[in-house]
Structure 1
Amino acid sequence: MKNVEIYTTMFCPFCSRAKKLLNSKGVDYKEIDVTVAGDLREEMTRRAGGAYTVPQVFVDGEHVGDSDYLHSLDANGKLDKILGVS
């Protein structure tokens, strides 16, 4: 299975939505909470090419995008391949 990381904050409905989608796919992921960790948010922003909103999702170190993009990939039938699920 691929290495999935998701940067989140507490009480973020978009984060919850993205995690719910990943859970529905049976994907294990590492959640990185940036609520109060400025250094982790800076890391996320750097890795995401300047994107500073949460969530930001990475698969095998590659930036996939935010919750809306994740759901768009799923709607277009492309997310399963990226996640390595069938």
Structure 2
Amino acid sequence: MAHVKIYSSDFCPYCHRAKALLRARGVTEWEEIKVDGRPEVRQEMARLAGRSTVPQIFINGQHVGGCDDLHALDARGGLEPLLRGPSPA
């Protein structure tokens, strides 16, 4: 299973929506980094993602984007292959 990292906030409905989609696609564990009251963590997230809003989602080190980006990726059929990881050689 893929390594999923989510920068999030407890009070963000988009964060909850993104995590619900991941659960629906079989993801049961992820690394969650809360930015609430932690400006240095939000700054690091913005440096890595190029965005300062949450959620920011990374799958296997690849920046997927926010909630809308995650849902769009899923709608295009790209989320599940990404979650499965690279195909064996």
| TM-score, normalising length: structure 1 | 0.91
User: Which position in structure 1 is the counterpart of 2:20?
Assistant: 20
- 2:83 aligned with 1:83, yes or no? yes
User: Which position in structure 2 is the counterpart of 1:41?
Assistant: 42
Counterparts of 2:37 and 2:77, CA distance in 1:
35
Gaps of 5+ in 2: none
- Runs (4 or more) in structure 1 with deviation over 6 Å come to none
Letter aligned with residue 77 of structure 1: G
Gaps of 5+ in 1: none
Rg larger in structure:
2
Counterparts of 1:74 and 1:37, CA distance in 2:
30
- Sequence identity (%): 50
- What is the CA distance between 1:61 and its match in structure 2? 1.4
- Aligned residues: CA RMSD: 1.2
Deviations 1:4-34, CA, capped at 9 Å, x for gaps: 0000012101000000001111212111110
What is the aligned length?
84
- What is the CA distance between 1:83 and its match in structure 2? 1.2
| TM-score, normalising length: structure 2 | 0.88
SS, match of residue 17 in structure 2: helix
